Chain A
Amino acid sequence: MKILVPVKRVIDYNVKPRVKADGTGVDLSNVKMSMNPFDEIAVEEAIRLKEAGKAEEIIAVSVGPAKAQETLRTALAMGADRAILVESETEVEPLAVAKILKGIVEAENPGLVILGKQAIDDDSNQTGQMLAALLGRPQGTFASKVEIEGDSVSVTREVDGGLETVKLSLPAIVTTDLRLNEPRYASLPNIMKAKKKPLDTKSAADYGVDTAPRLKTLKVTEPAVRSAGIKVPDVDTLVAKLKDMGIAN
């Protein structure tokens, strides 16, 4: 079985995003970029399935600018076997990403596609579900456990009230939640080896996908800022404040 892992290049999660003064977006010039943390978890899960003998090949794919190659090299250094970059210098929305991924799935026939549940830049939380719909395949979103059992996969999901388990027939789509695993760091020798692993470059047109955006961003603004309040010296003052707010007797 092959596993396809889409990975997105996003602002590093440690960076505090700044809105551009002209209100057109978030300033990404000279900002550290990394693999979306949920996608690291997806790559790790694929590697673990391969190590457990449940998968033979892991293909990482990214839709994005030429620099997304770095993200793909990270996936290769972690343990993916080969990579596909679908190059686009303009932003591609989840629906179009899902259509491109559908084209790749039809060409590669993976048994599983493991995506992140959301990208930490746009926070859309859509791509995996859309891909599943376009392919007419089952989806196991927000996964905290993935177990392959013959021709199906059992996925434990993080849901509002706790956990839920569903059984999906393969091929299937899975999206990762935070507690699925702890991704490994790529070792230096593996980073060197990754440079020699195959990386194909394609375009959206190769898959017949029109990436013209459906949503137009009219403006991007800073949220209302909260200013720091006061510090109280002791518990008694805090209790008095709570009483003022009418929440203590």
Chain B
Amino acid sequence: MKTLVWVEHDNASVKDATLSTVTAAAKLGEVHLLVVGQGAQAAADAAAQIAGVAKVHLADGAAYANNLAENVAPLIAQLMGDHDAFLAPATTNGKNIAPRVAALLDVMQISDILSVEGEKTFTRPIYAGNAIATVESSDAKLVITVRGTAFEKAASTGGSAAVEAISGTGDAGLSSFVGAELAKNERPELTSAKIIVSGGRALKDADTFQATIFPLADKLHAAVGASRAAVDAGFAPNDYQVGQTGKIVAPEIYIAVGISGAIQHLAGMKDSKTIIAINKDEDAPIFQVADIGLVGDLFTIVPELTSKL
């Protein structure tokens, strides 16, 4: 089987979730990568070094500067004439593009796979991860998004694939990019961090959130996450949200501070290796999944913990 993986990049390097996607693709067959962008040669060169990659296709042009699905999906659909499976990481960009490709190919997409069980058989979470479905596709081609935390990352070096420039399908003329407000963040990225400290509604307001959670995170070189309640209330930006409808994370250590443990939150973090919960309510559901729990007032516990580390 010949697979095509859409590469998420920042024009210089390849994002981690793509490396996990390559691992999933390699279980199906030969791995080809597609780098789309404007001025993306360096990213394509980096992609060519990923271990196990047979070929890199590079489509460079103004229409591809901002990953607009209207422009990228037709290009992928065209390339799928020569490939059997298309895979994208289940990031917001991947989730935006892949279903558009699937519909163009008249294929039912398999979202957010956790494992490859056979040529056409995969597992995926449903109901916020409260059930795992094993599904088999009957389509001639496969369109798949891959949950990054479920697959090891392919080595980013060791490969020496050829980069082939391809001509694009141009601007569909349906949409344009206006701008982005990306959160500046010196901390590790949530989805690849080894340690995450997350805060919930108990943190009161944005200032208290920062004054309480950030020093602990800094001590541990951890990324910062949040519950939906904390994000909705404006304590933290939207891209901090962990959960069914936010980011899916699986760090070595997840520290939940003042988070009750609603199923939608657990859906995003319950595959963490070690879960530590700090909550004043000893019956909070978070303790049912926590490896280590500490019952008490976070406003005394967290500063004390920070100072003793």
A residues engaging B (CB < 8 A)?
A: 11, 13, 16-17, 19, 25-26, 38, 93-95, 98, 117-118, 120-134, 136-142, 144, 154, 157-169, 177-179, 213-223, 226, 228-232, 234-236, 238-239, 241-242, 245, 247-249
CB distance from B221 to the nearest CB of A (A): 9
Contact of A139 among B96, B104, B127, B182 (CB under 8 A): B96
**Can you list 16 A-B contacts (CB < 8 A)?**
A38-B245, A129-B95, A130-B100, A132-B70, A132-B100, A133-B103, A140-B175, A164-B66, A169-B173, A178-B245, A214-B107, A219-B133, A221-B131, A231-B293, A247-B252, A249-B309
- Contacts A228-B290, A238-B305, A249-B309 given; indicate if A123 touches B126 (C-beta within 8 A): yes
A140–B178 Cα distance when bound, in Å, is 12
Q: Which of A25, A133, A160, A222 lies at the interface centre, i.e. has the most chain B CB atoms within 10 A of its CB?
A: A160
- Chain B interface extent, by class: 35 or more
Q: Are A235 and B308 in contact (CB under 8 A)?
A: yes
Q: Are A220 and B126 in contact (CB under 8 A)?
A: yes
**Closest chain B residue to A219, Cβ basis:** B134
A144–B98 Cα distance when bound, in Å, is 21
Chain B residues whose CB sits within 8 angstroms of the CB of A134 once the complex forms: 103
Q: Are B136 and A228 in contact (CB under 8 A)?
A: no
Q: Which 8 A-B pairs have the closest CB atoms?
A: A229-B291, A129-B99, A133-B103, A214-B108, A130-B103, A138-B174, A126-B99, A161-B182
Q: Are A226 and B180 in contact (CB under 8 A)?
A: no
Q: Which of A165, A178, A222 lies at the interface centre, i.e. has the most chain B CB atoms within 10 A of its CB?
A: A178
Q: Are A168 and B232 in contact (CB under 8 A)?
A: no
A132–B133 Cα distance when bound, in Å, is 27
Interface residues of B in 136-181 (CB under 8 A from A): 136-139, 173-181
A110–B70 Cα distance when bound, in Å, is 19
CB distance from A154 to the nearest CB of B (A): 7
A165–B104 Cα distance when bound, in Å, is 25
Q: Are B293 and A235 in contact (CB under 8 A)?
A: no
**Closest chain A residue to B124, Cβ basis:** A123
Q: Does residue B289 face the partner (Cβ distance < 8 Å to A)?
A: yes
Interface residues of B in 241-286 (CB under 8 A from A): 244-245, 247, 252-253, 263-264, 270, 274-276, 282
Q: Are B69 and A129 in contact (CB under 8 A)?
A: yes
Chain A residues whose CB sits within 8 angstroms of the CB of B289 once the complex forms: 226, 228
- Contacts A162-B238, A179-B232 given; indicate if A124 touches B109 (C-beta within 8 A): yes
**Closest chain B residue to A213, Cβ basis:** B108
Contact of A169 among B68, B108, B111, B174 (CB under 8 A): B174
Chain A residues whose CB sits within 8 angstroms of the CB of B252 once the complex forms: 247
Q: Are A230 and B291 in contact (CB under 8 A)?
A: yes
Interface residues of B in 28-73 (CB under 8 A from A): 66, 68-70, 73
Q: Are A160 and B133 in contact (CB under 8 A)?
A: no
A93–B308 Cα distance when bound, in Å, is 53
- Contacts A141-B96, A142-B92 given; indicate if A218 touches B178 (C-beta within 8 A): no
Chain B residues whose CB sits within 8 angstroms of the CB of A138 once the complex forms: 70, 174-175
Chain A residues whose CB sits within 8 angstroms of the CB of B174 once the complex forms: 136-138, 168-169
CB distance from B177 to the nearest CB of A (A): 6
CB distance from B282 to the nearest CB of A (A): 8
Q: Are B138 and A216 in contact (CB under 8 A)?
A: yes
Q: Are B294 and A214 in contact (CB under 8 A)?
A: no
A229–B275 Cα distance when bound, in Å, is 9
Chain A residues whose CB sits within 8 angstroms of the CB of B69 once the complex forms: 129, 132, 139, 141
CB distance from A220 to the nearest CB of B (A): 5
Chain A residues whose CB sits within 8 angstroms of the CB of B112 once the complex forms: 123
A110–B9 Cα distance when bound, in Å, is 36
**Closest chain B residue to A159, Cβ basis:** B92
Contact of B110 among A215, A230, A232 (CB under 8 A): A215
Q: Which of A117, A124, A140, A232 lies at the interface centre, i.e. has the most chain B CB atoms within 10 A of its CB?
A: A124
**Closest chain B residue to A221, Cβ basis:** B132
Q: Are B238 and A179 in contact (CB under 8 A)?
A: yes
Q: Are A218 and B134 in contact (CB under 8 A)?
A: yes
Q: Does residue B295 face the partner (Cβ distance < 8 Å to A)?
A: yes
Q: Are A161 and B292 in contact (CB under 8 A)?
A: no
**Closest chain B residue to A164, Cβ basis:** B180
A120–B305 Cα distance when bound, in Å, is 37
A236–B308 Cα distance when bound, in Å, is 8
Q: Are A126 and B183 in contact (CB under 8 A)?
A: no
CB distance from A80 to the nearest CB of B (A): 23
CB distance from A144 to the nearest CB of B (A): 7
Q: Are A245 and B111 in contact (CB under 8 A)?
A: no
Q: Does residue B18 face the partner (Cβ distance < 8 Å to A)?
A: no
Q: Are A228 and B288 in contact (CB under 8 A)?
A: yes
Q: Are A216 and B135 in contact (CB under 8 A)?
A: yes
- Contacts A13-B264, A158-B92, A165-B180 given; indicate if A218 touches B70 (C-beta within 8 A): no
Contact of B135 among A130, A141, A217 (CB under 8 A): A217
